[in-house]
Amino acid sequence: MKLKLAIAGMLAAASFGAFAADQSVAITTTPVLDTDNHFIGVTSGSDGILSGGMDVITFTGLNPGTYDFVLTLSGQNVSFDGALTNLNGQTGSAYSFGKYRFFGVEYTGASPFTLELHGTAFSGATYSGEVTVSPVPEPATYGMLLAGLGLVGAVARRRKSTSRGA
């Protein structure tokens, strides 16, 4: 189990982009490990997290389609700007508790998803986040479900009437 977590950690670290704190994170709708849909603020060289007041995180790896996307962030020694931070244009909510900061946003739309994280990093700043993503069924899926339920009901009714006649 520890080997799997170590491999997942290495893959997660390798998936981060090379541009300062801007990064690309591959996510999945069916995460195998708890760490699969988790990301951290990263630094590159002398460029730190929220350098210039913004980090851009792009979430990739999803098939084309519509998804319900929920993102939560937590951080220390960092200030999130809830009015400017957005996921594909959808703003969220920022909360504070002492030196701890939290941000959350929900969005329904098509992939790819891009988070523009605005804020200020102080000495020892760090943040991490988690993503929950689930596909939104197309209307045709609901039609097929109703047609299937209708067929099951028709077969059950026919069997019931056949058994009474015998």
pTM recorded for the entire structure: 0.67
Residue extents of the structural domains in the chain: 2-135, 138-166
Q: Counting beta carbons within 10 angstroms of the beta carbon of residue 72, is it exposed (0 to 12), middle (13 to 18) or buried (19 or more)?
A: middle
CA pseudo-torsion sign 135, 140, 145, 146: positive
Main-chain dihedrals φ then ψ at residue 159, nearest 5 degrees: -65, -40
pLDDT-derived band of residue 50, with 50, 70 and 90 as boundaries? confident
Query: Which architecture characterizes domain 2-135 according to CATH?
Result: Sandwich (2.60)
- For 78-127, how does the pLDDT look when each residue is reduced to its tens digit (9 = 90+)? 899 999 999 999 999 999 988 789 999 999 998 889 999 999 988 888 89
- For 55-79, how does the pLDDT look when each residue is reduced to its tens digit (9 = 90+)? 999 998 888 888 999 999 999 988 9
Q: Counting beta carbons within 10 angstroms of the beta carbon of residue 80, is it exposed (0 to 12), middle (13 to 18) or buried (19 or more)?
A: buried
